[in-house]
Amino acid sequence: MANASETDEPALPGPPAASTYAKLLLLGLIICVSLAGNLALALLVLKERGLHRAPYYFLLDLCLADAVRAAVCFPFVLVSIRHGSAWTHSPLSCKVLAFLAVLFCFHAAFLLFCISVTRYMAVAHHRFYAKRMSRWTCVAVICMVWTLSVAMAFPPVFDVGTYKFIREEDQCIFEHRYFKANDTLGFMLMLAVLLGATHAVYGKLLCFEYRHRKMKPVQMVPAISQNWTFHGPGATGQAAANWIAGFGRGPMPPTLLGVRQNGHAANRRLLGMEEFKAEKRLGKMFYVITVLFLLLWSPYIVACYWRVFVKACSIPQRYLATAVWMSFAQAAVNPIVCFLLNKELKKGLAAHVPCRRTEPPLPREPYCVM
């Protein structure tokens, strides 16, 4: 009888398992939803002039970053899953993709923190916010966010830390090792501090709204000028100042001849009832986005800290896989939240979807009864 070692042929790789097909299908769904949703949201913000405001500029930057992440990083994860959790490309491409993955993570964290600060300013310091938060200010904030994100993601390129392919995660990412082996501790502390500071700002905003819940918002009721007197709901001691600020109706009083009346719509610095409700809705939308970012990334952050501080035992594979896929899903949830919670975006989307347009009823033909 021949020896088994002499007769056995090398085993051929079998067909992919059902779990592999499930991973490919799930990641393909995440890519499609992320690209379709984020690009639709970005095009809507660019096309609608009514959305050319500071919060939507930040939302545009956030959506474009998620779309690029889904289009550039996730296809390589698909390839690695298809090849049995193996990296088939060059080490340089692995470093580039890991750099991009860390860059987009820190970009979202920095940008959400800046958005929380602007949401607080829009409600608590609306005069300063309306005066200073111009388009170029938004561009400067976005550039600062990208600069800080690059500064956080770039050191491992020069081997300060390690970018490599992690087989258990099916992706190229920062390798978190025991804190005595590298300087990964500071890398993760920055992300935790950013998330904590963002929620602290939203907590301060909620406290501000709670303290001022009994204050009536400014009612835009103008005073009517009649010769040298003012009458009407706004006829108080500041009626003349209101008229100068653009709130007055009627002829100019003789005592104010030569004083120019400011345009009410263009130069208003007061937070009216409708503006307050709109700012509150925007704050709610961005806070939900921030909470989802924390919920979807926190299991992976916990896994990273586990690798840093716990050397005795390894992370359970099922927990690590769940944490990684939750971080992947974060790239697709923002458009869903925005279209569900924002009426302006919902109306804009309905106006541009052909099947949602309602045609005016056709006029009926006149008829007579014989």
Q: What is the pLDDT of residues 197-252, one digit of tens each?
A: 999 999 998 888 777 665 554 445 554 544 444 445 444 455 555 555 555 555 55
Phi first, then psi, for residue 367 (nearest 5°) are -140, 160
Task: Give the integer Cα–Cα distance in Å for 270 and 126.
Answer: 7
Task: Give the integer Cα–Cα distance in Å for 141 and 118.
Answer: 10
CATH of segment(s) 17-214+274-352: 1.20.1070.10
**Maximum separation of any 2 CA atoms in the chain, in Å:** 121
Closest CA to 290 of 174, 199, 162, 186: 199
More confident residue, 254 or 148: 148
Mean pLDDT within 44-53: 89
Sign of CA dihedral 134, 135, 136, 137: positive
3-state helix, strand, coil in the chain (%, to 5): 65, 5, 30
Per-domain residue ranges of the chain: 17-214+274-352
pLDDT of 292 above 90: yes
Length of the chain (residues): 370
Mean pLDDT within 161-169: 77
pLDDT cut 70: percent of the chain above it: 69
pLDDT tens digits, one per residue of 5-25: 433 444 444 555 777 888 889
pLDDT tens digits, one per residue of 94-109: 888 888 988 999 999 9
The token duo for 316 is: 């359970």
pLDDT at position 280 is: 83
Closest CA to 190 of 325, 301, 352, 63: 301
Phi first, then psi, for residue 163 (nearest 5°) are -100, 125
Pairing mode, if any, of strands 224-226 and 229-231? antiparallel
Phi first, then psi, for residue 143 (nearest 5°) are -65, -40
pLDDT at position 368 is: 44
Question: Residue 126 in 3-state DSSP?
Answer: helix
Confidence of residue 363 (pLDDT cuts 50, 70, 90): low
Task: Give the integer Cα–Cα distance in Å for 6 and 212.
Answer: 85
**Is residue 225 within a helix (H) or strand (E), and if so which, with residue range?**
strand 224-226
